[in-house]
Amino acid sequence: MEARSLFPQLPALHFSPTADICQCGTVLKVLKTTTPKAVATLTIGQFKAVEKQKVCQQCDVIYRSETLRKLTPHRGQFGFDVIEYIGKAIFVECRQELEIQANLAAKNIPVSTSEIAFLGKRFIIYLALLHKQSREALKAHMSSKGGYILHLDGTCEGDSPHLFSCIDAVSDIVLGNKKMPSENSEDIIPLLNTLKLNYGDPIALVHDMGRAILKAVDEVFPGVPDYICHFHFLRDIGKDLFNAEYQAINRHIRDSKIKAALRKSAKALKKLIDEDPELSIELEAYTKNGIPAVTQTPLNAVISAYLLVTWVLEASCVSNGFGFPFDQPHLVFYQRLQQAESNFKQLKKKGVLTLPLAALDKVVSGQDLKKLQTSIEQKITIFNELRVAMRIASTDSKDGLNDEGDDDIEGIEKRVTAFCHDEKLQTLAASDTSYFKMLKQIRKYWEKLFAKPILRDTPAGKIFIQPQRTNNLLEQSFRDGKRDRRKKSGQHSLNKALVGMLADTPLIRNLKNPEYMRILFKEANSLAERFADIDAEEVFREERENKALVDKYPRNLRRFFKLENLPEILIDAV
């Protein structure tokens, strides 16, 4: 039987303060009894709350029911347990509002989807306020581990605001967040100053090579060991080294329209196979039996052509998930065209007429492309040697962007030293500015690349803490957050989500950390119990401030900012 069927009408529950005498010694008088208000909690369901309030006529202090305040926020319709349920459903379980609405309705809690979205944001505000209340305990916790290593990074989508986050790599705790129009030092510095005030200086910093971050940490944390994420460093080295050639190859391929021609060919070949039962059976049998080293029996020409065409089109499948410059799918596509060209010509002679040989020959025989290929392949060889020396983003890695690499910093430094002094590279650098600039970049950031273990005193004795050589903690956090938002919304672009997202949403990551939750809970057993300890006025103030940030301009006004001829439009409208 559903809870809603137990009572024909909502039951009325009466609440009153326990105190009869004010702290000043004056006997309290009844101020008023409130009008019954519909309230809903997970533990009770929906009911009407009737509250008797008392007042001290000497101090003018109003006393309200402690029991009701533990169930629901002041002026709130839904209980703290409902807020916790909705917050976790949205941000941890990535469930959609309609699903949450249906589940709550089954618990006798009717709520609109817009209210669910509102309570989800309120959950983040409560969590952020609890985080602020717990900073002394968090500071003590991090001190017991020898201190904190601060990782800094930001993320955005299109022209959305930057969401900037700071995380302690030792305790794996998100410490602070801020939304800013762009990644600039003027916005980062106040955030870092707040962290410094709350937690003291970190024992080290790890971040990318962004100028804004470099400037901000130099100002706020002078003298603190400062390290560059090896993955970001390598990525920037590779982009500087051969991005020009890579983009030129991409332009040549795009202008040739060879991909469109191959896709058209693949579609035509697949149609021939689908319409011929024997070809369909042969293709299924060939692909089902695994990948042979060499085809023992000749395949039908149509099937061979289909396999080759799709093999060329799906060149990006060999990428390791690192992105450019570690992966070069456009170059691989061009290389596969070269490999398959002679096969395509033979298949054409066997009667396969759907192959775009003219377009293919034009691309493969182009001298400009061949020159670009020669240049970029040499640079990629050098770049891969540096990847091997730095033991990260390996060409045979299966971890993609989660690759942490080898942590033998001393060995890495020796290998990179040998790489820089290699006679072949020195010769190339003497005649090609791109190699010269690469070596200059390595020398510039040398001191920020090789973090030595840091000796720290802890209650358990002296320990060595090794700064992580990548910013993967934050990168993974951003990727997980974006993946969860895409899973929930079903949309690839997160531009609107980031615009409307509260700055402290990354604190959700901390909910997976048992030590953090222990600190947050204190003596309580749930977040709902701790939410009840927060002053409602603080929540209202945070909500007003966040609304002011989102509502900087009237609704729909932003679309006008992209117009190139607004003055003309306005003149015409006068």
- 302-318 tens-digit pLDDT: 988 999 999 999 998 88
Q: What is the pLDDT of residue 369?
A: 94
DSSP of 408-477: -HHHHHHHHHHHHT-HHHHHHHHH-HHHHHHHHHHHHTHHHH-PPPEEEEETTEEEEE---SS-HHHHHH
Q: How far apart are CA 229 and CA 443, in angstroms?
A: 15
- CA torsion sign, 42 to 48 to 54 to 60? positive
Say if strands 226-228 and 454-458 run parallel, antiparallel, or are unpaired. Answer: unpaired
Q: What is the pLDDT of residue 557?
A: 59
156, 478 contact by CB (below 8 A)? no
Helix (H, G, I), strand (E, B), or coil: what is residue 177?
A: strand
User: Could you say which residues of the chain have pLDDT below 70?
Assistant: 1-8, 157-160, 290-297, 396-407, 473-500, 548-566, 568-569, 571-574
Q: What is the pLDDT of residue 317?
A: 86
Q: What is the pLDDT of residue 158?
A: 63
Q: How far apart are CA 532 and CA 80, in angstroms?
A: 7
Q: How far apart are CA 166 and CA 131, in angstroms?
A: 14
Q: What is the pLDDT of residue 147?
A: 95
Number of Cα atoms under 13 Å in the Cβ half of residue 194: 13
Q: Which amino acid is at 176?
A: G
Q: How far apart are CA 382 and CA 338, in angstroms?
A: 23
539, 122 contact by CB (below 8 A)? yes
Query: To 5 degrees, how large is the angle CA 413–CA 326–CA 161?
Result: 100
Helix (H, G, I), strand (E, B), or coil: what is residue 39?
A: strand
CB atoms within 10 A of CB 465: 20
User: What phi and psi values does residue 157 have, to the nearest 5 degrees?
Assistant: -145, 115
Rounded to the nearest angstrom, the gap between the alpha carbon of residue 143 and the centroid of all alpha carbons in its chain is 28
**Alpha helix locations (H) across 200-229?**
211-220
**Alpha helix locations (H) across 289-422?**
301-313, 329-349, 357-364, 367-390, 409-420
Helix (H, G, I), strand (E, B), or coil: what is residue 371?
A: helix
Q: How far apart are CA 545 and CA 539, in angstroms?
A: 10
Structure tokens belonging to residue 37? 């208000």
Helix (H, G, I), strand (E, B), or coil: what is residue 504?
A: coil
Query: To 5 degrees, how large is the angle CA 196–CA 198–CA 204?
Result: 40
Give all domains of the chain, ordered by start, each with its CATH number: 134-225+471-503 (3.30.420), 235-450 (no CATH)
CB atoms within 10 A of CB 293: 5
Chain position carrying tokens 């989807």: 113
Q: What is the pLDDT of residue 434?
A: 95
Q: What is the pLDDT of residue 574?
A: 44
Q: What is the pLDDT of residue 490?
A: 52
40, 46 contact by CB (below 8 A)? yes
Beta strands in 106-187, from DSSP E residues, in sequence order = 149-155, 162-168, 173-180
- CA torsion sign, 488 to 491 to 497 to 498? positive
Q: Which residues pair with 176 in a beta bridge?
A: 166
Q: Which amino acid is at 99?
A: E
Beta strands in 181-287, from DSSP E residues, in sequence order = 204-207, 226-228
Cis check: omega of the bond before 325, within 30 degrees of 0: yes
Q: What is the pLDDT of residue 486?
A: 55
How many Å is the maximal CA-CA distance in the chain? 106
